[in-house]
Chain A
Amino acid sequence: MKFKAFVTENGVSLLDRRFLPALDKMGKICHLFLTREHAFFLHNLLTTSDGIQSIAQFRKQALFDDYRISSQNEDRIAFAFDISLLLRAVRSSVSIISSESGGANRLQVKLVKKLPPNSTQPMPFLTFETKGYKSAVIQDVPISKPLSRDQLLQLQAALDAAQDLPQTLVQVPDLNRLQNFVDRMKHVGDLLNVSISKYGDLHLQISTTLITLGAEFRKLLVVGDKAQAPDEDRDLSAQTRSERAILMGDAQNVQVSVRHFSKSLQCHLAKPDCAFYGIAPQGACLTVIFQFFIPGTRQTDKSISLHCRLPVLDPGSS
């Protein structure tokens, strides 16, 4: 089992300033899944838990060059690690690269087995090596034992299952504002009802015995199945409008944890260019998809993708 690559300048900045800070918010422990063509950062895919799943996928060229991988599992390697340690290692490598003038510095990453101090058992590490003209700095990030063949197949299956797209997706108008709102909403209750309609309506509501608090965003951009909003809907309240749309089969409704919803919005740290919410078929989960553009264009950068799946607490009406 071997893995060795150089992290490109663009790769360093993607990880250091955008993706690792965002993924750090999703949970402490993350799986890195490396294949011949892709690198995935995965949260909560193996543990059949009630946590939020996040899937960040990079084509190898987006992060690395001189990428070499080999293993007996069709050249696939996966392991778990503490994301804050990885972030620290990348951060300090960045500071070394930028402090040494010359430009001959490259950040190499490789999988190694080493004998840690005061131990007789060799342990696996992901090692970051920065070589300059005058110095070299090596940082070892401890990782879990690489996944066994069975676990790897399980992870691959979970990853394949997590790729299904909702039929209707609506674009979130202003991520920061929505985040702000949801963070304040957290004080009022724990369960969030989310309904999404083919008309482009996103309706969020917390309802307890003492209070009902909701927000409705209308006329959002719809990707996938669309429908024309009925004219008589215009003067109705947000609640009635959602209920009618659900009855007519034009909307779906699920209940998720406010905490998860707020976490999913933290992905704005990865600086996506837009975000879409949708409900997976049969109300299996609430999906949020972040889109990244090729810098300076409005074209989707297909080498990077990020989406989260929020577990549904109550199947709702779907």
Chain B
Amino acid sequence: MSSSAIEADTSDLVCQLDNVQGIVDALSTVRWKRHQDAVVELSEHGVVLIVEETGCLQAKVYLQKELFIRYEYTAQGRPRFGLSLGLFVDCLNTFSVPGHSSTIEIRYPGPDMQLLIKSADSLDDCIYAEIRTRIPETISWDYNFEPAGSTPLSFTVKSAALKEAIDDLEWPGSSIQIILKPVPPSVTFRGEGHGDLQIDFMYYANTDLLIAFHCDHQVSYRYKYKFLRATTSNIPSSVTKDNRGSKLTIGRGGMLKVQHLVSVARPSTSHQHIDSAGYQQPSRIAYIEFFVKPEEDEDTVND
């Protein structure tokens, strides 16, 4: 980390952010096991981080450039690199000071293709990190998500309720059937294994839980419990505190898309930081997407 003026010329990306905890939350959402390799893709629109599990599960975190207080992108093409997700999250976490809004600067690539991070708050104290990156492996399976028909098959449910339902299904385990029915409009999660468990969300009965519902014909697909669980196991507490919803869409072939919204707003320092103009920070959201492949199952009914 020599003088920043020199490096600015050679870096593909120099960005700064003022809410480290928000980014840690967003990235932790896709951290479903201890050792995970992630691929990071940089572009003029922002940063995308992709993790996947043996061709059955893929997750993406979209950090749009609006989430950063400074975003200088000068690369040609879209640089991609691989790194350990766990290490990246643990490392970013050391920059986050509870009750403090800390500003950090992220720069790529360093002289040895590292990802460079440093705190940008004070001149006398400095935290810095260099994370070794790898040449990324090619994504093994294409998660092109296509709508199942002319009307989307989707529903939006309170993230907390979704997480609770999936946690409860741990007991039957193994494979979980998701059934969408237009009449009466409802979503059913059904687990069979060590006993049966069925959780119904009725659209008209639970409008506070099931916020939106679109379905014109009944569909039913099975998903491996462990992949379904990965989509909600690390939802940050800020999501449930903000009472946000998660959107689930079933695409062609039963591919399930799960979307969460994680706030990356500056921690509210309201009493010391009210703008005289009454300016409110526009909501800064990181988008999280999971794609889960259905189990190939002979008795799936789709009419």
Contacts and interface: CB of A to CB of B under 8 A. Distances in A.
Given A215-B126, A219-B124, A237-B2, A210 B132 contact: yes
A184 B129 CA distance: 13
Given A212-B130, A213-B129, A214-B129, A184 B124 contact: no
A216 B125 contact: yes
B127 interface: yes
B132 A188 contact: no
Most buried by A among B1, B90, B96, B125: B125
Interface string B85-122: 00100110110111000000000000000000000000
Interface residues of B, number: 22
Contacts of B125: 173, 215-218
Interface in A180-198: 180-181, 184-185, 187-188
A180 B93 contact: no
Contact of B132 (A211, A216, A218): A211
A258 to B, nearest CB: 12
Given A180-B97, A187-B93, A218-B124, A210 B129 contact: no
Contacts of B87: 188, 210-211
A209 interface: yes
Nearest to A183: B94
Contact of B90 (A188, A212, A216, A235): A188
A166 B94 CA distance: 29
A211 B1 contact: no
Contacts of B215: none
B84 interface: yes
Contacts of A219: 124
A42 interface: no
A238 interface: yes
Contacts of A173: 125
A225 B70 CA distance: 42
A181 B94 contact: yes
A217 B124 CA distance: 6
B3 interface: yes
Contacts of B130: 211-212
Contacts of A184: 90, 93-94, 96
Contacts of B91: 188, 211, 213
A237 B93 contact: no
A237 B90 contact: no
A134 interface: no
Interface in B240-266: none
Contacts of B94: 181, 184-185, 188, 213
A83 B75 CA distance: 60
A235 B7 CA distance: 14
A185 B84 CA distance: 16
A215 B301 CA distance: 58
Given A184-B94, A184-B96, A212-B128, 10 more contacts: A173-B125, A180-B98, A184-B90, A211-B91, A211-B130, A216-B126, A218-B124, A235-B3, A236-B2, A238-B128
Interface of B: 1-3, 84, 87, 90-91, 93-94, 96-98, 123-132
19 contacts: A181-B97, A185-B94, A187-B90, A188-B87, A188-B90, A188-B91, A209-B132, A210-B84, A211-B132, A214-B128, A214-B129, A215-B125, A215-B127, A215-B128, A218-B123, A218-B124, A219-B124, A237-B128, A238-B126
